Amino acid sequence: MLTTSSHEKNRKPGDNSKQAHLLCSFTVSEIKQWRTRKLVVGKISAALIQTEQKENQSIIQADMKSITRNEIHGHISDFAEMKSLTSLNMSGNLFKDSVIGVFQGQLEVIDLSKNQLQGHISQVQFISTYKWSSLVYLDLSENQLSGEIFLNLSQADNLRHLNLAYNRFARQKFPRIETLLGLEYLNLSKTNLIGHIPGEILQMSNLHALDVSSKQLTGHIPSPAHRSLKTLDVSHNNLSGEIPVSLLEKLPGMERYNFSYNNLTLCDSRLSLETLETAFYGSLNSCPIAANPVLFKRRANRHRGYTLALALTLSMVCLLAGLLFLAFGCRRKSRTWVVKQSSYKEGQNISGPFSFQTDSTTWVADVKQATSVPVVIFEKPLLNITFADLLSATSSFDRDTLLAEGKFGPVYRGFLPGGIHVAVKVLVHGSTLTDQEAARELEYLGRIKHPNLVPLTGYCLAGDQRIALYDYMENGNLQNLLHDLPLGVQATEDWSTDTWEENNNVTQNVGSQAWTFRHKIALGTARALAFLHHGCSPSIIHRDVKASSVYLDLNLEPRLSDFGLAKIFGTALEDEIARGTPGYVPPEFSQLECDAPTPKSDVYCFGVVLFELITGKKPIGDDYPEEQEANLVSWVRGLVRKNQGLKAIDPKIHDTGPVYQMAEALKIGYLCTADLPTKRPSMQQIVGLLKDIEPRATR
């Protein structure tokens, strides 16, 4: 029954080659041997199941009911043929078909979570043979199910555990499940629910855990009637009004709760500082104690002498710090801010003008009890991830997992539990802020979402280190794609050839797509900056726009990174940020009266990136025809002034689109790089100008 290669026939237990080639299907006895090792890869066929059922029913009962976290595929409904099966756990595999056929026989436990199941789940209601009263445990979370949550749930009067989170259900009101009086666990997060939370839900006497986070729920939070509730997550909704007093009184006895990112009103000084800063963060209508709990931290009166001494000590420290700050400011003002435009070092994969040769072993060793240091994941607040998981994901921040080193610190690559692929940025100068201040800034940045920004996934405060977690960008950054690839090496996108595909990361001969693609990068980056400048309140100045801060995601869309980080560092990187990156420094930065970057500073830097896209040249260090000791900006601006801008166009894209569009783009870059900031357009205006010359292929 087992079809294998000759290599498979000679395989011995414990040989990891099992995961490489399993060509057709395998027997239940094979599964018994391999299921606990998480190495099974292959397909289970219906004929196999039927045959094995006749041959050895006991093996089926003991071993076919739980084969989790492998790479099994096939038809999940085939398991319904095993009529005597009462428990089926096939979570964490690769099943892609419908779940309809699973609801057969007398199954009591169904766990098909973390697969790729699809289809309209509402069709399950037409199955009349299944005894819903037998169902005790149902987990279909983290799939791709659609439609409306099935109506038959009201018949599952013995159901204890229900998890439908992270699916693609249609927008719908809260399902009618209040009749499930025995329900103990309910997770409907990320399921597109709208409307109110029914009051009957929190009246269910056996309900221990309720998660309805990350949806579009409105209205008030109902009052719970029983003390059985131990876990409650209503974060990332649009709930409003006051939190019921009866619920607030139950919080001390609960294990976990999260009310963050709503419009709730909270005025209860009995809650601890830690509770206010974590469970109620981002509630827009909170009274001052929740909006800024640090200012309302109570101090005990029994040690007034100690408090007075501490206050005097802090006052002296602040006074000394102020004097040092004034001395430093005077020294800074007396200095001439002329930046030497040193050339790039060829072949280095860095994201800034200098590199931190950081030895992580020192600060990692300073973090005690790594398993007790939490990692905050914004979209999955109940996911239990700690600093120990970060250490495991990055091999203790080993250089083998290092992606880049830049101005803000080293960046590592890692996979967190739950399959979360992240770029881990260690903010080496972030310790100037307190934990509360750093958490507040990072939480704020986590709420900033735009299709052309690299989203902040989460963060970790480990000792003195502030660690930012970003979505991993599969296709690298613009610096690598344009400049840093060695000759003869083709990455995911190589503009030295005619092969490129804008979708699915598969190369194809598109020829004329080169200019279209570069224009898309320019427009997407401009939209990101326009959003930061004009769509955020207060506006955010990036301060370090450059080719290496523009990334390409899995769908090859440009995404700008490192926005908002400058504020986290306070004065720790003030000089470096003000000096800018060589090749991208606005002229006003060399003036004594220049105090801080402005939105027009970002506009100048964007103009340099636009010149890079059109010319294919580096900001500094390249050879510029007919000019010596020039940089990209002075060379291109000189050609545009002479009405010879066409000479600057990259030969690789010259014939891949309308030349007049490229010439107009050069003029836009010319406006962006004007010497006087007042002469530069805003990013909103730049978006409009780029859209006016948008190639038809991208419209």
Q: Which residues are catalytic?
A: 544
User: Is the preceding omega at residue 538 within 30 degrees of 0, hence cis?
Assistant: yes
Contact of 98 with 119, CB cutoff 8 Å: yes
Closest by CA to 282, choosing from 416, 381, 390, is 381
Going from the C-alpha of 637 to that of each of 242, 591, 686, the distances in angstroms are 59, 21, 17
The enclosing H or E element of 387 equals helix 387-393
Cα separation of 147 and 608, whole Å? 48
Q: Compute the C-alpha angle 305/310/314, nearest 5°.
A: 150
Going from the C-alpha of 61 to that of each of 58, 76, 110, 138, the distances in angstroms are 5, 16, 14, 19
Cα separation of 175 and 154, whole Å? 9
Rounded to 5 degrees, what are φ and ψ at 469? Answer: -110, 125
Tokens 């043979």 belong to which residue? 129
Q: How many helices (H) and strands (E) does the chain have?
A: 19, 23
The enclosing H or E element of 258 equals strand 256-258
Rounded to 5 degrees, what are φ and ψ at 411? Answer: -125, 130
Beta strands in 430-527 (DSSP E): 456-462, 465-471
Closest by CA to 121, choosing from 160, 155, 153, 154, is 153
Closest by CA to 233, choosing from 268, 209, 199, is 209
Cα separation of 664 and 649, whole Å? 11
Contact of 219 with 198, CB cutoff 8 Å: no
State the alpha helices, DSSP H only, in 56-168: 57-59
Residue 421 pairs in a beta bridge with 415
DSSP symbols for 597-644 = --HHHHHHHHHHHHHHHHH---SSSS--TT-SS--HHHHHHHHHHTT-
Give the distance, in angstroms, between the CA of residue 8 and the centroid of all CA atoms in the same chain.
Answer: 39
At 596, list the tokens.
Answer: 């801080």
Burial (Cβ within 10 Å: 0-12, 13-18, ≥19) of residue 73: middle
In the 8-state DSSP scheme, what is residue 225? -
Going from the C-alpha of 289 to that of each of 48, 137, 238, 298, the distances in angstroms are 64, 41, 20, 11
Cα separation of 635 and 648, whole Å? 8
Contact of 667 with 640, CB cutoff 8 Å: yes
Contact of 267 with 287, CB cutoff 8 Å: yes
At 12, list the tokens.
Answer: 């011995």
The 10 Å CB-count burial string (b at 16+, else e) for 481-511 is bbbbbeeeeeebbebeebebbbeeeeeeebe
Tokens 């299709």 belong to which residue? 451
